[in-house]
Structure 1
Amino acid sequence: MILVAGSANLDFITRVSHLPRPGETVLGPAFTTAPGGKGANQAVACGRSGHPTRFFGALGDDPYAAPLRESLRASGVQDTSLTLDAPTGAAFITVADSGENVIAVASGANALLTPQRGPDFTDVTHLILQLELPLATVQAYARSARERGVTVVLNAAPAPQEPLPADLLANVNVLVVNEGELTGLVGPGERMEQLRAAQALGPGTVIVTLGGAGSVAVSGDQRIEVAAHPVTVRDTTGAGDTFVGVLTGGLGAGQSLERAMRRAALAASLACTRDGAQPSMPTRHELDRALAQAGRVD
């Protein structure tokens, strides 16, 4: 069982010709809503790719919570979220015609998840965490997981404003970051030097995602490079979460790191061809079909 503990937000999305500069107003034709939040996104990606998945988060007692719970259920995810006396989290996403986006998040109920309000680790082999919950809560969940022999996967996003605590990184088995997050963690430098520096902080495996350039990992003494799949980009929202969810599902199923990364890269590429975060995430059937079309059986 893969457990994802993290945020759940309702996304408010508008498309524009270009991302606004500071002080600029850009008009778009309309807005749509869709279920989101990094935690819920990663749970949906994992569930849709065919892996047993449980989600633990916090939602408000309001109409915004219903579509989030329904998306989890429809994706085969066991929803164990709490209902708290606070608004459901919301994310305001502006997507340019290029597919790039900017996002502002109102945390709402997510901010009320405390270390004392912890998830059920029964039958869990892997825990996925991100940084949209309070940092003390993320630390506590990672510590509890490691004490139970659970493999901890940390997606260190959004990029923290302050250095991550040493005791958090010491409890992480697999760290997933993008280029900016990696530089924020260990400083600028040559990529392999950065990856080894991040590995020295505690995680045995460190993966950096590079957008259209694919991803690179170090695991022990091993180095793995995986190319991205060429697609026509429609919307990059949720691509990173798709990668993390499918990656961890693969690891939980006993796949090698390289194989799990290849499937995750393909899933993330497919997600970029459709609008939204959770609505864009591929199913296991879609992944298998895309791999077959690419001439590989994986």
Structure 2
Amino acid sequence: MDAKVVVVGSLNMDLVARAQRLPRAGETLTGDSFFTAPGGKGANQAVAVARLGASVAMVGNVGDDAYGQQLRQALLTEGIDCQGVSVCPGVSSGVALIVVDAASQNAIVVIPGGNGLLSPESVSRFDALLQRAEVIICQLEVPSTTVAWTLARGRELGRTVILNPAPASGPLPAEWYAYIDYLIPNESEAEALAGVRVNDQESARRAAERLRQLGAGKVIVTLGGDGALLVDASGSRHFPAPRVQPVDTTAAGDTFVGGFAAGLARGLSEDEAISFGQRAAALSVTRVGAQPSIPLLKELAP
């Protein structure tokens, strides 16, 4: 079966430490627990798509180490098409060092490893996957030249193109916007991209309007516990978030993006797909870890 969704992006092994609070500069803390789990924004989103009811293929790189084997196997176990996951000789796999505090906030350091070697040529080898897809998803944990090529190719093919601009520290290249059907930043990413301070729904709307002026088709700003805001040519619509007690917010955004894409691929309306992604993300924050926290379709209320 052809994959309806193709994710081009990162695969990381997450090394997660929990502590009562995040350490200050130069400080050593005694933590509460430690575990490893497959992660990376690209792989997380692919797992979310698969668990939430749509067929998906992953295009990315791992290193020739034990982590790389584990990362690839984790995707295969989910039924994800991994023909586009390549092994880079002599390079480590991507690693994310994550500290989570008692309030479920996190601080993350990412070492790209094989992700940093994902080139446009690497992705073009699997162009047949893009041609057969309905939805193509990118993030910013692989080289920008590769993201740019994939976005442009998705637009050329007439596919639904989603960019989750994470992590973002500044504006996107101006030419990217015209390729994007759905730009999905969180509050801090919207602020970095638009240059507009974002601290509530109204400022999120202004930032999203600015991003649309730059050329993005539609913008969905995720607002954590405050829900999500869709801004398009007809105006803005707010989607309240389900109320939950968060335990770990790692991969909540990835779960939303994957759930939204899965919803579109399954034929849900835009509004239905946003609400579907929100329900999945809300359940994910009640669990620990990245991929381990992503729910199955059967777990979501209708």
TM-score (norm 1): 0.94
Tell me which stretches of 4 or more aligned residues in structure 1 moved more than 6 Å: none
Q: Distance in 2 between matches of 1:191 and 1:146?
A: 26
AA partner of residue 96 (structure 2): A
Deviations 1:233-261 (A, max 9, x none): 11100000000000011112221111111
- Whether 1:98 aligns to 2:103 is yes
1:149 aligns with 2:158: yes
Q: Distance in 1 between matches of 2:17 and 2:136?
A: 32
What is the rounded CA distance, in whole Å, between the counterparts of 1:122 and 1:136 in structure 2?
20
- 37-46 or 76-85, larger mean C-alpha shift: 76-85
For 2:87, the aligned partner's letter is T
The structure 1 residue matched to 2:79, chosen from 69, 76, 89, is: 76
5+ long unaligned stretches in structure 1: 292-296
| 1:185 CA displacement | 1.1
Q: Percent identity?
A: 42
Structure 2 equivalent of residue 294 of structure 1: none
Q: Which amino acid counterpart does residue 87 of structure 1 have in structure 2? A: S
* Of 159, 162, 183, the match for 2:168: 159
Q: Secondary structure at the match of 2:47?
A: helix
What's the counterpart of residue 266 of structure 1? 279
> Contact conserved, 1:174 with 1:205, CA < 8 A, in 2?
yes
Of residues 49, 58, 63 in structure 2, which corresponds to 1:60? 63
Please state how far the C-alpha of 1:222 moved relative to its aligned partner: 4.0
Q: Deviations over 1:16-75 (max 9, x none)?
A: 001112222211133211000000000000110010111110011111012211221222
CA distance in 2, matches of 1:217, 1:76: 31
| Cα distance in structure 2, aligned partners of 1:41 and 1:147 | 26
Which residues in structure 2 correspond to 1:16-95 (within 5 Å)? 16-79=19-82, 80-85=84-89, 86-95=91-100
Q: Which moved more, 1:246-255 or 1:83-92?
A: 246-255
In structure 2, which of residues 114, 117, 129 is the aligned counterpart of residue 112 of structure 1? 117
- What CA deviation, in whole Å up to 9, does each residue of 1:189-208 have, x standing for no partner? 53322211111112211000
What is the distance in 2 between the residues matched to 1:71 and 1:200?
Answer: 40
Q: What letter corresponds to residue 298 of structure 2 in structure 1?
A: H
For residues 6 and 239 of structure 2, what CA distance do their matches in structure 1 show? 25
Task: Give the distance between the partners of 1:202 and 1:250, measured in 2 at CA.
Answer: 24
**Structure 1, residues 111-138: CA drift from partner, whole Å, max 9, x if none?**
0011111133141111000000011110
Counterpart residue number, 2:200: none
Name which of 227, 230, 234 aligns with 2:243: 230
Distance in 2 (CA, whole Å) between partners of 1:224 and 1:29 is 41
2:221 to 208, 227, 247: 208
Q: Which amino acid aligns with 1:82?
A: S
- The answer to which of 183-192 and 103-112 deviates more is 183-192
Provide the TM-score with structure 2 as the length reference. 0.92
| Deviation digits for residues 144-194 of structure 1 (CA, Å, limit 9, x no counterpart) | 11111111100001013x421111111111000011111111122533222
Q: Describe how 1:163-242 pairs up with structure 2 within 5 A.
A: 163-188=171-196, 190-242=203-255
The CA distance in 1 between the partners of 2:296 and 2:68, in whole Å, is 23
For 1:97 and 1:275, the matched residues in 2 are separated by: 12
Looking at structure 2, the residues matched to 100 and 127 of structure 1 have their Cα atoms a distance apart, in angstroms, of 29
Distance 2:97 2:293 in 1: 17
